Chains A and B, each alone.
Chain A
Amino acid sequence: MKQLGICVLKAWTALVLLVAGATAVAAGSGEVSALNLRRGATEISGQVYDLHMLMFSICVGIAVVVFGIMFVSMYLHRKSRGAKPANFHESVKVEIAWTVLPFLILIFMAVPAAKTLLAMEDTTEPDMTVLVTGSQWKWHYKYMDRDVEFYSLLATQREQIDNRYAKGENYLLEVDRPLVIPTGQKVRFLITSDDVIHSWWVPDFAVKKDANPGFINEAWTRVDEPGIYRGQCAELCGKDHGFMPVVVIAKEPAAYEAWASEQESIRQQAREEEQRLLAMNMSMEELMTEGERVYNATCAACHMPNGEGLPGVFPALKGSPMALNDMQGHIDIVLNGKTGTAMQAFGKMLSLKELAAVITYERNAWGNNTGDMVQAKDVNAVVSGE
């Protein structure tokens, strides 16, 4: 029995040392720790980190004292050592002390916590605003003061997830188009959702805010150092919840300005290209190649790469009456989505060319073989209500 107590003591000493050691390591380096919260890249995230370390130290302190007394008692006051039970109980003094003392500790914790909280929730006077919209399973960023908006999707290859290729350094934390923001400026985020609840989280900014459909939440950050900051969706949002990362690049204001102007001119060119395309026809081969690319990037998450969907959850496109017969309905549902289901409106996400290609692909892949070709102008006709 004595051995047993010593065993317990040893185990707990080891544990406390491990935790203390981990803390020291984490506090000593600016690197992202595998054990602890990160200090992050903003003044707020630094405050949050300090608050976390304060709470953590207090909790470890309380634990060491309480468990210490308990283990001493377990060692000294054991029957095998001949301990005779005392008969004391109830002491108003002691009981008041151990009610009041924790209360004082709580007040000591609450003051800095309240200060930081007020600072975090103060979204007034931003230098710029980005509208962040979550949907299953991607983020959309719209710069409110400029003509820039785009979707941001997971860039990790399917083959890495399925263990067929070696996993890259930023596995599951990489996107095709990251959000870009300037350093040193107060950036306000308006956060909402198109479907279920998501949560936009960048640990380095200490920003985590739910994206609620039909409501707009606010958050803000001011990043000091240029760099790439990675986060993830933090609220269970369905099948691919684990596969919708957030990547933010912070650039010096001049570099940001150059990037934003470039994006605006690219959008302008794309619009002109779109108009030009309306007068052209793509070949079946071009449509199918482009369509397969778009399908795998956009549609395959639900309807599956083989077009068979997930029975009872996401409908099959292979052999579906709409894909085989109803071309107008098919274009309409891809453009506008279907309310009351997970089928989103892709009209604002994809270009006319991409829409035409993917609809053609869906009508001809997996043995659907309708031979139908859908061109950009056909899609445009539905868009403009002709």
Chain B
Amino acid sequence: MSKATEIISPAHGEAHAHDDHHEHHIPKGLMRWVLTTNHKDIGTLYLWFAFIMFLVGGAMAMVIRAELFQPGLQIVEPNFFNQMTTVHGLIMVFGAVMPAFTGLANWLVPMMIGAPDMALPRMNNWSFWILPFAFTILLASLFVEGGGPAFGWTFYAPLSTTYSGDSTALFVFSVHIMGISSIMGAINVIVTIFNMRAPGMTWMKMPLFVWTWLITAFLLIAVMPVLAGAVTMVLTDKFFGTSFFDAAGGGDPVMFQHIFWFFGHPEVYIMILPAFGIISQIIPTFSRKRLFGYASMVYATTSIALLSFIVWAHHMFTTGMPVAAEMFFMFATMLISVPTGVKVFNWVATMWRGSMTFEVPMLFALAFIVLFTIGGLSGLMLAITPVDFQYHDTYFVVAHFHYVLVTGAVFSIMAAVYYWIPKWTGRMFDITLAKWHFWCSLISVNVLFFPMHFVGLAGMPRRIPDYALQFADFNKWISLGGFAFGLSQLIFLAVMIKACRKQGEPVSDQVWEGAEGLEWEIPSPAPYHTFETPPVVK
């Protein structure tokens, strides 16, 4: 009892001190970050965590590209190579892209809808702080005997069950934690948007970033439990003698793929819908013209989200499905290109007869539109079942999903950070350095991923540590592009460190001429607490 009292009393004292200083008081030191329930602090934590994971996952990509620089085995053993491709994928999906979007949601959703904070601030703290543990476990698994997961981020059974190493248990545990974190984050976004909009902020007045995140949050809640189910079945198949995915015990390995992709396809949209929201904020600002079709953007996003539940088996055309199923999934997949096209056309129509300037966020947004569309078009080609038999599991697929995820999702995140960071810090970032970052990234990312289309069409399978001589020339270029893209991100790191140290010119409240929305009406930098009394939206 006495111990408990000892702990409580200083906390009590601090609570009083807090009262005294009222809103000017920002806690200091490490404990500020560990105990914070402030949406801005948690947003910052998420974003830095995502960036660190981006660099870690990127380092693994460098190992992959170094090994593939020329034919033959030079640097790593095939087993370690497979661990690199697996953990690279897991880290980039669950550690970099998803937390970065959650970080942006934390920073922006309350500011955009006129709320003082997220609806569930303590859960917010928890949903962030379990993430470092999840990834520590995942990374630690690389150092146990037999190495980490080596079965691809898609962990197809039975490679991930009967034929995997003991570290699979660590993999399963870490995926569970990531899933819990995502679900808590999603619940928080939904509750905040439903309950904490300022008076007058009706549904159809919400900024598109808020809309896309709301829909994303529903997708997360729908499919993360499916992923949890899949990893749990892998765990029990491997360690507790069940046979969900083992034909010898009455199970079916293809059922694993159905379950995984029922999660996996909506997951793809989880990683791109918030990007659509970001681009829909940035393009109107720098075109000085309102978004061409706000309502159709909302409907298109909703259609994409709904369609995402009936297309999963287009990842599985070669598994030997009945031809009727192949037809269904081919047509359903092709349908998705309609609402996606609506989005791209809307952005272009917004730019048309605008008054454009090309600040760094706009550069990234424009690159996003072009390069994401390239990824979308190769996606349309992949939907065509008979040709997918040739494309499937080749570098053509690798090119496709890196165009939508790197030049799509990642570029949108960079665009968002450059767009809003002056509001967060109150200072303009180093524009020269940021432009260097943009141009180096743009050129190198295309040297990196564009030739992958060619080697894929020519017949190079993915996930191989060594390849036939006919692929050698392009792979050299791809690797050089990869190293250059990796190094370019160090420029981004430099810009971010300078920005966080508050170097640079102070900015106005609006920051960008043409920026509209509640977040641009509060002071720069955004105060620690905003909208303690809700604004009225007309």
Query: Which A residues have a C-beta under 8 Å from some C-beta of B?
Result: 1, 4-5, 8, 12, 15, 22, 32-38, 47-48, 51-52, 55-56, 59, 62-63, 66-67, 69-70, 73-74, 77-80, 83-91, 94-95, 98-99, 102-103, 106, 109-110, 113-114, 116-118, 120-121, 136, 160-163, 167, 169-173, 191, 195-197, 199, 201, 203, 206-210, 212-215, 217-218, 231-243, 310-313, 340-342
Residue B39, interface by CB 8 Å: no
Closest chain A CB from B168 CB (angstroms): 11
Contact B384 A109 (CB under 8 A): yes
Closest-by-CB residue of B relative to A34 is B458
Closest chain A CB from B164 CB (angstroms): 9
Q: Among the listed B82, B247, B335, B377, which residue makes an inter-chain contact with A106, where contact means beta carbons less than 8 Å apart?
A: B335
A-chain residues with CB within 8 Å of residue B258 when the two chains form the complex: none
B-chain residues with CB within 8 Å of residue A4 when the two chains form the complex: 358
Contact B466 A213 (CB under 8 A): no
Binds A, one of B271-279, B337-345, B527-535: B337-345
Binds A, one of B7-15, B146-154, B423-431: B146-154
- B236-260 vs A, CB cutoff 8 Å, 1 = contact: the mask equals 0000000000111000111000000
Q: Among the listed A106, A162, A196, A313, which residue makes an inter-chain contact with B79, where contact means beta carbons less than 8 Å apart?
A: A313
Contact A242 B348 (CB under 8 A): no
A-chain residues with CB within 8 Å of residue B183 when the two chains form the complex: none
Give the 8 A-B CB pairs with smallest separation, nearest first: A312-B146, A214-B247, A242-B464, A312-B145, A217-B320, A86-B353, A59-B377, A234-B393
Closest-by-CB residue of B relative to A100 is B338
Query: Which B residues have a C-beta under 8 Å from some C-beta of A?
Result: 71-74, 78-79, 82, 144-147, 150-152, 156, 158-159, 162-163, 165-167, 246-248, 252-254, 287-296, 318-320, 323, 326-327, 330-331, 334-335, 337-338, 341-342, 344-345, 348-349, 351-358, 366, 369-370, 373-374, 377-378, 380-381, 384-387, 389-390, 392-394, 446, 450, 454, 457-459, 461-470, 473-474
Q: Among the listed B158, B323, B334, which residue makes an inter-chain contact with A121, where contact means beta carbons less than 8 Å apart?
A: B323
Contact B348 A66 (CB under 8 A): yes
Contact B327 A69 (CB under 8 A): no
Closest-by-CB residue of A relative to B470 is A34
CA distance A231 to B460 in the complex (A): 9
Q: Among the listed B147, B165, B166, B366, which residue makes an inter-chain contact with A74, where contact means beta carbons less than 8 Å apart?
A: B366
Of the listed residues A12, A47, A171, A237, the one surrounded by the most CB atoms of chain B closer than 10 A to its CB is: A171
Task: Tell me whether A51 and B357 are in contact in the complex, defined as CB-CB below 8 angstroms, given that A161-B73, A239-B82, A312-B146 are known contacts.
Answer: no
Contact B352 A63 (CB under 8 A): no
Task: Tell me whether A90 and B458 are in contact in the complex, defined as CB-CB below 8 angstroms, given that A102-B337, A242-B465, A242-B467 are known contacts.
Answer: no
Knowing that A48-B386, A241-B82 are A-B contacts, what are 19 other residue pairs whose CB atoms are under 8 Å apart, sorted by A's residue number?
A33-B458, A37-B458, A51-B387, A52-B390, A69-B348, A80-B357, A85-B288, A86-B354, A98-B345, A116-B386, A118-B323, A120-B389, A203-B459, A207-B389, A208-B392, A237-B159, A241-B78, A242-B78, A243-B466
B-chain residues with CB within 8 Å of residue A215 when the two chains form the complex: 247, 252-254, 320
Contact A311 B468 (CB under 8 A): no
Task: Tell me whether A55 and B380 are in contact in the complex, defined as CB-CB below 8 angstroms, given that A203-B459, A234-B461, A311-B146 are known contacts.
Answer: yes
Q: Among the listed B327, B366, B464, which residue makes an inter-chain contact with A241, where contact means beta carbons less than 8 Å apart?
A: B464
CA distance A197 to B454 in the complex (A): 26
CA distance A89 to B280 in the complex (A): 14
A-chain residues with CB within 8 Å of residue B82 when the two chains form the complex: 236, 238-239, 241
Q: Among the listed A90, A102, A313, which residue makes an inter-chain contact with B338, where contact means beta carbons less than 8 Å apart?
A: A102
Closest chain A CB from B322 CB (angstroms): 9
CA distance A172 to B460 in the complex (A): 12
A-chain residues with CB within 8 Å of residue B468 when the two chains form the complex: 170-173
Closest chain A CB from B23 CB (angstroms): 38
Contact B334 A313 (CB under 8 A): no
A-chain residues with CB within 8 Å of residue B294 when the two chains form the complex: 89-90
Contact A212 B354 (CB under 8 A): no
Q: Among the listed A52, A114, A234, which residue makes an inter-chain contact with B392, where contact means beta carbons less than 8 Å apart?
A: A234
Contact B373 A232 (CB under 8 A): no
Task: Tell me whether A52 and B358 are in contact in the complex, defined as CB-CB below 8 angstroms, given that A103-B338, A161-B73 are known contacts.
Answer: no
Closest-by-CB residue of B relative to A203 is B459
Contact B290 A210 (CB under 8 A): no
CA distance A32 to B469 in the complex (A): 14
A-chain residues with CB within 8 Å of residue B462 when the two chains form the complex: 236
B-chain residues with CB within 8 Å of residue A12 when the two chains form the complex: 370
| Interface CB pairs A-B, < 8 A, 10 | A55-B381, A66-B344, A70-B366, A77-B352, A98-B342, A161-B466, A162-B73, A210-B319, A238-B151, A239-B82
Contact B454 A35 (CB under 8 A): yes
Task: Tell me whether A342 and B163 are in contact in the complex, defined as CB-CB below 8 angstroms, given that A35-B457, A109-B384, A117-B327 are known contacts.
Answer: yes
Task: Tell me whether A232 and B381 are in contact in the complex, defined as CB-CB below 8 angstroms, given that A63-B373, A85-B288 are known contacts.
Answer: no
Contact A35 B466 (CB under 8 A): no
Closest chain A CB from B241 CB (angstroms): 9
B-chain residues with CB within 8 Å of residue A89 when the two chains form the complex: 289-294
Task: Tell me whether A209 and B320 are in contact in the complex, defined as CB-CB below 8 angstroms, given that A36-B457, A89-B291, A89-B292 are known contacts.
Answer: yes
Task: Tell me whether A106 and B337 are in contact in the complex, defined as CB-CB below 8 angstroms, given that A206-B389, A212-B253 are known contacts.
Answer: yes
Contact A238 B163 (CB under 8 A): yes
CA distance A210 to B388 in the complex (A): 13
Q: Among the listed B147, B290, B446, which residue makes an inter-chain contact with A313, where contact means beta carbons less than 8 Å apart?
A: B147
Q: Among the listed B290, B356, B463, B469, which residue makes an inter-chain contact with A78, where contact means beta carbons less than 8 Å apart?
A: B356
CA distance A199 to B317 in the complex (A): 12
Of the listed residues A87, A121, A161, A167, the one surrounded by the most CB atoms of chain B closer than 10 A to its CB is: A121
A-chain residues with CB within 8 Å of residue B145 when the two chains form the complex: 311-312
B-chain residues with CB within 8 Å of residue A191 when the two chains form the complex: 320
CA distance A195 to B352 in the complex (A): 57
Closest-by-CB residue of A relative to B338 is A102
CA distance A23 to B12 in the complex (A): 73
Contact B458 A209 (CB under 8 A): no
CA distance A83 to B342 in the complex (A): 25
Task: Tell me whether A95 and B342 are in contact in the complex, defined as CB-CB below 8 angstroms, given that A79-B357, A234-B394 are known contacts.
Answer: yes
